[in-house]
Structure 1
C-alpha cells in the first residue's frame, strides 16, 4: 500500500513539473523579453513540486508502518 501511494504521488509530481515547464515555454514564446525573470519563477515552482514529491515516500512509510510513530 505504501509503494502504491508513493507511485501515485510521484506521478502527480511528474505531471505538475511538466505543466510548470510547458507554461514556461508558452510564456517565453509570447513574451521573450521576460525570459530570465520567468525562468526563476519556473525553477521555484519546480522546487516546490519536488519538495512535495519527496515528502510522499516519508508519509507512505509512516502510514504503512505497523506501530504508531508518535508514541
Structure 2
C-alpha cells in the first residue's frame, strides 16, 4: 500500500507541477504560447510512451501464452498462430492510434509541420 501511495504521489507531482507552470501567465502572449507548445510536445511523447509500453506488455503476454499453448498441444499450432497474428495486429493498432493522436497534437500546435 505504501508503494502504491508513493507512486500515486509521484504521478500527481508529474501532472501537477507542469500544469501549474502552464497556467501561470506572466502577461506576455508569446511566452505562454511557447509554454503550451512545449507541454503539448511533452504530453504527446508521454502518451506515446505509455501506449508503446502497454502494447509491448500485451504482445509479450500474448506471445507467451501462444507458446505455452503450442507446447501443450503441437497439433493446434496452426490455429494458435493464426489467432496470435490477428491478436497482435489488433494490439499494435492501439499503438498506431496513439501515434496518430500524438502527431495530431503536434500538428495542432504547429511544432513540426
Higher radius of gyration, 1 or 2? 2
Alignment of 1:1-71 (within 5 A): 1-63=43-105, 65-66=108-109
Q: Aligned-pair distance for 1:62?
A: 3.5
TM-score, length of structure 1 as denominator length: 0.83
Structure 1 residue runs of 4 or more that deviate by more than 3 Å after TM superposition: 61-67
Query: Where in structure 1 are there 5+ consecutive unaligned residues?
Result: none
Higher relative contact order (CA 8 A, sep 6+): 1
TM-score (norm 2): 0.54
1:25-67 alpha-carbon deviations (Å, 9 max, x no partner) = 0001111110011100000001001111100022233346349
Q: How far apart, CA to CA, are the structure 2 residues paired with 1:35 and 1:56?
A: 32
Give the alignment's Cα RMSD to 1 decimal. 1.5
